[in-house]
Amino acid sequence: MKETLDTKGNPAKARTKIASVCVFCGSSAGFRPEYAAGAAAMGRELGRRGLALVYGGGNIGTMGILARSALEAGASVTGVIPRKLYELVDHVELSELVVAEDMHERKARMTSSSDAFLAMPGGIGTLDELFEAWTWRQLGYHDKPVGLLNLAGFYDGLLSFLRVVSEEGFLKASMLGDLVVETDPARLLDRLETAPPIAEPKLPERRR
């Protein structure tokens, strides 16, 4: 078996077992019932597996549905919310609520508290969080797996565009294949829990 190396050319360390999952999702529930149902199913599945949930701390939309479902299923739930939003919204009674000073601190806290990341249907904030987590993995800032829960074909268009990005030479095929995509919460968590380290970390341009 070919040895996997880190970004410095050293043997890559095996990733530790997943204990907590960061879920990126929306402050809206969307127009399709599959989005709310998927959020509730994901919360239940996290609880069933004994996994902790880390999320954006919101009370409404799929964020609120996810958090309440996870809590009802016995999961520990940590919300991380920037102070500006904390002062504007109501809150779920969580296991822990972290109030960050800004969005940068929020994402850093969510990253450090999680062993894997997944995005459900959501808006530009969800996409921002997804791509930052995936980029950091590509650059070797972390080795935590990243996935998409593609409910009702929500991410079909994005995945099609990413294939164009790869075909045009801006994204390695191996990195595109590194993104774990499933339509079912249980299958997605199964694959995240067994995902291998990244096969080809991105090297600086000068070393190509």
Residue 33's pLDDT band (boundaries 50, 70, 90)? very high
pLDDT at 201: 64
pLDDT (0 to 100) of residue 88 = 79
CA distances in angstroms from 22 to 8, 67, 174, 186, 195, listed in the order given: 27, 11, 23, 15, 16
Confirm if 67 and 91 have CB atoms less than 8 A apart. Answer: no
Contact (CB, 8 A) for 91 and 57: yes
Side-chain half-sphere CA neighbours of 106 within 13 A: 23
The number of beta carbons lying within 10 Å of the beta carbon of residue 28 is 15
Predicted confidence at residue 2, as pLDDT, reads: 37
**pLDDT tens across 93-115, in order?**
899 999 999 999 999 999 999 99
Strand partners, 97: 79
pLDDT band at 87, cuts 50/70/90? confident
The residue assigned the tokens 């964020």 is 63
* Helical segments of the chain, H only: 33-49, 61-72, 83-86, 103-112, 124-139, 156-167, 173-178, 185-193
Tokens of 112: 């450090």
What pLDDT score does 91 carry? 72
Question: Which comes out higher in pLDDT, residue 202 or 148?
Answer: 148
pTM of the entire predicted model: 0.87
Q: Taking a C-beta distance cutoff of 8 angstroms, is the pair 80, 113 a contact?
A: yes
Q: In the predicted model, what is the mean pLDDT of residues 132-155?
A: 96
Higher pLDDT: 198 or 32? It is 32
CA atoms within 13 A on the CB side of 21: 32
Domain covering 25-189 assigned CATH 3.40.50.450 in the classification: yes
pLDDT for the residue 89:
73
pLDDT score of 16 more than 70 = no
Query: How many CB atoms sit inside 10 A of residue 16's CB?
Result: 9
Q: Check whether 197 has a pLDDT greater than 90.
A: no
Spatial contact of 119 and 150, defined as CB atoms under 8 Å apart: no
Dmax (CA) of the chain: 53
pLDDT at 17: 86
C-alpha radius of gyration, the chain, whole number: 17
Q: Measuring CA to CA, which residue among 121, 124, 125 is closest to residue 32?
A: 121
Average pLDDT over residues 107-130: 97
Q: Number of helices and strands (H, E) in the chain? A: 8, 7
Q: What is the rounded average pLDDT of the residues 47-62? A: 96
